[in-house]
Amino acid sequence: MTGWEDIRAEVLRRIRARDWPPGGMIPTEEDLAVEFGVARATVNRALRDLATSGVLERRRKAGTRVAALPVRKATLDIPVIRLEIEARGQSHSFQVLKQSFMEPPVPIASRLGLGPGFKLLYLETLHLADGKPFAHEVRWLNSEILPRPLPDFHALSANEWLVAHVAYVSGDIAFSAEGASPREAAVLGVAPGAALFVTERMTWTAESPITFVRLAHGPGYRVQTLV
Amino acid sequence: MTGWEDIRAEVLRRIRARDWPPGGMIPTEEDLAVEFGVARATVNRALRDLATSGVLERRRKAGTRVAALPVRKATLDIPVIRLEIEARGQSHSFQVLKQSFMEPPVPIASRLGLGPGFKLLYLETLHLADGKPFAHEVRWLNSEILPRPLPDFHALSANEWLVAHVAYVSGDIAFSAEGASPREAAVLGVAPGAALFVTERMTWTAESPITFVRLAHGPGYRVQTLV
DNA sequence: GCGGTTATTATGTGCAGACATAATAGCACT
DNA sequence: AGTGCTATTATGTCTGCACATAATAACCGC
């Protein structure tokens, strides 16, 4: 009956009821274990979970306190774009607009840690939801990690091919808002300068960069999450 | 020497090295426990952690498999705006531009689940970083949950006052890109229609809405996270 | 007082064993 | 074949105990 989730819920209730006010200390794991009649490990699991979600702050010896200014940790699911569109009940398709092998612009090369003269595979793709423009994708790919002959990115999106075939190690994601460039405006069918939701991703293996992607989403795009 | 984090690292290495390919099954916890010479609970901790970050998919009896299309779970820290600015080494200040008591527009009222005629406290605030406009905040507050007399939101921002005094239960956050309204453009000092990064939050107690906030961030604002 | 060493303490993590639970696979019966 | 029960199995979680670790508190010599 009293699992660690029940304990977590009860602790959360006391915090929200201000039994344990923000910034205040709460009892030790051992005290709570006695009170709830469970093992300390069970209390630990509950409190650890609340700590990772930003509700509690824990330090050895110092004890556990309720976060004064809780840093809300929102967990965003970032699915493959095809699944994102299909989850809305729409059908996904895409067109490869451009494909070439060339030197990237300096800012991108430097962010990927590449010296001058290093050429990358450039791919420009338009993603469609129910046939209507959904997002504009610009991608730079390290061709050294690709097999020969090059895979056919017209058949399977570069994203999904990479997920299936290339071991990644690390990466980062950034979100921002940017005005549509003339090119983006034309491709997405919006006015130049229109506000686009942009996500940029970089991924790496242990040694070398894999890819840089910039996805520009048309108006109305929202990323949402519960807290 | 072999803690659960080492096991997690080794499992991740094998996944990324394609020893265990996407979509494939991995050995049972018990087998791995024997192989690594640790208790099953330790393996469980490692695999559970990888499952919550989207790398593994686990089901009872069915076993554990490597996610075929890993849904990257990016965890965003959403701090109080003051801390966000101070973390950049800038100083935070704010101005309350408007404060009144009135009926919210229909879309906001309906999203908060309020009937017609229900009045809310309206607060419009400009947040500054080193004295320069940083974000424009529009907030609707359920005045029924506020003490009388009303707290002075000129001294302490509404956000921080709420965090310190009101028990919340649930909420959601959404991110989008929107063109600057004339009002926003004037206040933030940007051109009308300029792309703004907008975050909208709603929070609730168990019974009633607490607040709706819309934060419009000026150009250059980015939300970033490692994966 | 002051600075540095030592003891104490709360959390972090480990182990072995146990039972719970969900989902599959196999079997029996129609 | 199809259906429904049962056995099996991998993960989920709990207990009780142990030791590790980090940070505070107490102490001591000067």
Tens-place pLDDT, residues B18-65: 899 888 999 999 999 999 999 999 999 999 999 988 889 999 899 999
The CATH number assigned to the domain holding A19 equals: 1.10.10.10
The residue whose two tokens read 């909208």 is B200
- The better pLDDT of the pair B123, A207 is held by B123
Q: Are residues B101 and B203 in the same domain?
A: yes
Each residue's pLDDT, cut to its tens digit, for chain B (227 residues) gives 688 999 999 999 999 888 998 889 999 999 999 999 999 999 999 999 999 888 899 998 999 999 887 667 777 877 789 989 998 999 999 999 999 999 999 999 998 888 888 999 999 999 999 999 999 999 999 988 887 777 888 888 888 888 777 767 678 899 999 999 999 999 999 999 999 999 999 988 877 899 999 999 998 899 988 77
Structural domain total, chain B: 2
Q: Evaluate whether B134 touches B215 at the Cβ level (below 8 Å).
A: no
B72 touches chain A (CB under 8 A): yes
A172 touches chain B (CB under 8 A): yes
CA distance B122 to B183: 16
ipTM of the complex: 0.82
- The span from the first CA to the last CA of chain B, in angstroms, equals 26
- Summarised one tens digit per residue, pLDDT across range A17-71 is 889 998 899 999 999 999 999 999 999 999 999 998 888 999 989 899 998 876 6
Spatial CA neighbour of B79 closest among B185, B187, B180, B201: B201
Contacts of A149 (CB under 8 A, 6+ apart): none
Beta bridge partners of A212: A140, A202
Element (H, E) at A153: none
CA distance A123 to A115: 20
Q: Are residues A140 and A86 in the same domain?
A: yes
Contacts of A122 (CB under 8 A, 6+ apart): A98, A99, A100, A101, A102, A104, A138, A139, A140, A141
> For residue B219, what are its two tokens?
């150009």
Q: Are residues B49 and B152 in the same domain?
A: no
At A205 the pLDDT is 81
Q: Are residues B109 and B59 in the same domain?
A: no
Strand C and chain A: which residues 31-50 have CB closer than 7 Å?
40-41, 44, 47-48
Mean of the pLDDT values across residues A73-85? 83
CA distance A221 to A218: 6
Q: Are residues A49 and A160 in the same domain?
A: no
The CATH number assigned to the domain holding B163 equals: 3.40.1410.10
- Summarised one tens digit per residue, pLDDT across range A134-147 is 999 999 999 888 87
Instruction: Flag if B73 and A75 touch (Cβ within 8 Å).
Output: yes
Q: How far is the CA of B58 from the C1' of C24 (A)?
A: 14
Q: Are residues A102 and A196 in the same domain?
A: yes
Q: Are residues B11 and B37 in the same domain?
A: yes
Q: Evaluate whether A210 touches A168 at the Cβ level (below 8 Å).
A: yes
Contacts of A43 (CB under 8 A, 6+ apart): A4, A7, A29, A32, A33, A36
A69 touches chain B (CB under 8 A): yes
Disruptive mutation site among A44, A57, A225, A226 for chain B (greatest number of B CBs within 10 Å):
A225
Q: How far is the CA of A21 from the C1' of D26 (A)?
A: 30
Q: Are residues A8 and A44 in the same domain?
A: yes
At A8 the pLDDT is 93
CA angle, corner B155, sides to A67 and A13, nearest 5? 30
At B137 the pLDDT is 96
At A1 the pLDDT is 67
At B211 the pLDDT is 92
Which of A87-91, A169-173, B23-27 shows the lowest mean pLDDT across its residues?
A: A169-173
Instruction: Flag if B176 and A74 touch (Cβ within 8 Å).
Output: no
The CB density around residue A147, as the number of other CB atoms within 10 Å, is 8
Q: Which domain holds residue B31?
A: 4-66
| CA–CA min distance A22, chain B (Å) | 7
A185 touches chain B (CB under 8 A): no
For residue B76, being part of any structural domain is answered with no
Q: Are residues A30 and A106 in the same domain?
A: no
Q: Are residues A44 and A129 in the same domain?
A: no
Q: Are residues B98 and B200 in the same domain?
A: yes
Element (H, E) at A43: helix A40-52
CA distance B37 to A139: 44
At B1 the pLDDT is 67
- Among residues A66, A89, A104, the one where a domain terminates is A66
- Among residues A17, A39, A66, the one where a domain terminates is A66
Range with the largest mean pLDDT of A86-90, A126-130, A151-155, B167-171:
A126-130
